[in-house]
Amino acid sequence: MTDVLLSELSDVGRDPAGGVTRFAWATAELELREWFAERAAGLGLDVETDGNGNLWAWWGASLPGTAFVVGSHLDSVRSGGDFDGPLGVASAFAAVESLTASGWMPSRPIAVVAFADEEGGRFGLACLGSRLLTGAVEPARALSLTDDDGTTLAEAMTAAGHDPRRVGHDAERLARIGAFVELHIEQGRMPVADGARGLAGAGRPIGVAREIWPHGRWRIDLTGVPDHSGTTALADRVDPVLAMAHGIVEVRRAAEDLGILGTVGRVRVLPGAVNAIAASASLWIDARGEDPRRVRELVAQVERSLGIESALESWTDVTRFDAALTADVTAAVGGEVPSLPSGAGHDAGVLSLAGVPTAMLFVRNPTGVSHSPEEHAEGSDAETGVAALTAVVRRMAG
């Protein structure tokens, strides 16, 4: 079922450079929003867009009790894969479809959700839709974030027909979410309880999430003295690109030293002319690992080495998923499912930090690779995921 749903999306945002690029509030993502509304309507669900741009498809919205929510996100990173996000939304629709077809009726409201701007691919801050909803990000800060063209989030929302004045903490909606289960493509080859690496290593089609590693993003801005590359002696230069290069190497050295993950995947050099010594250079550090003290220590080591302080752009502490809900999910799928940590952040983590009982289901990704066209799920594994999600909804909302 999910392969049919995902095939409906396969052309949307197809990037000539490979994979799909589906940035928040841009053309491709708006097409996905239409797809969501059509799919939901086809299943007889009531669709609404909340103030933060998250999409909700309700089944039995007027039933008593809090909602049991399933879903994920639809946006992608630049040249991302087909599964990160859409697999969770498509699986949620497939679960609702199979329950409807079987004549089953919920006893509490069920919602399929697609959170807005999960990847932060355009405005640089991940999980914006869920973070705004829970109040983890101030609306003014979010709305003034800019993309590479200098467009603010507020302007992008307005252009897409969404009123940015509606953005912000939505306590009423948050209180309505009784539990959230996010199904997601597996990312990486994380250690599975029995010592195997990843679900492929464990030989299992699905798993449950144990925790999300603490992770943060920092920016370091280095300034230089801009000048002509052909007329300035090497000894006279203040070149921020050299310092940036040193910083990048330091991130890797410190990460190895501390046994965590540290990455520089984004740099900015201004003005960016081939024949000019740069006026400024910035690098972004993404650091994460099991131990939050080590993650912070990596940044401190890089700061000391460069003699400059970084600017913290985001920090998320270790996120533990709800043990009772995870036990329910495990029982619903027949018990004895491998559990693994997540090195990636998710909307489920944001909701969990806001006090919502949350669990995650991972579908085996044989390559382990994500945020890339190499990301993959076999159709039969995706169907195992749908069957699991269906069983979870049946158990939790029956």
- In the complex, which residues of this chain contact Zn ion (CB under 5 A)? 84-85
Burial of 252 per CB tally in 10 Å (0-12, 13-18, 19+):
middle
Minimum distance from residue 84 beta carbon to Zn ion (Å)? 4
Please, what is the minimum distance in Å from the beta carbon of residue 340 to Zn ion? 15
In this structure, the number of other CB atoms found within 10 A of the CB of residue 397 comes to: 24
How far, in Å, are 28, 145, 147, 338 from residue 120 at the CA level?
15, 10, 10, 29
What DSSP assignment string belongs to 177-222? EEEEEEEEE--S-PBPTTS-BHHHHHT-SEEEEEEE--EEEEEEEE
Q: State the Cα–Cα distance between residues 388 and 361, nearest whole angstrom.
A: 8
The residue (of 243 and 344) whose beta carbon lies closer to Zn ion is 344
Nearer to Zn ion, 85 or 247 (CB): 85
Nearest distance from C-beta of residue 81 to Zn ion, angstroms: 10
Least distance to Zn ion from the beta carbon of 73, Å? Answer: 6
- Our CB check for Zn ion shows the closer of 250 and 347 to be 347
| CA 337 from centre of chain | 23
> Which residue's C-beta sits nearest to Zn ion?
84
Taking the complex as a whole, the smallest distance from the CB of residue 270 to Zn ion amounts, in Å, to 31
Q: What are phi and psi of 27, to 5 degrees?
A: -50, -50
- The single-letter DSSP state of residue 26 is S
> Is the CB of 301 or the CB of 365 nearer to Zn ion?
365
**Least CB distance from residue 362 to Zn ion, whole Å?**
11
Pairing of strands 280-288, 215-223: antiparallel
The answer to whether 365 and 205 have CB atoms below 8 angstroms apart is: no
Question: Judged by CB, which is closer to Zn ion: 39, or 371?
Answer: 371
Distances (CA, A) of 112 to 93, 94, 287: 7, 10, 31
Which CB atom, from 84 or from 170, has the smaller least distance to Zn ion?
A: 84
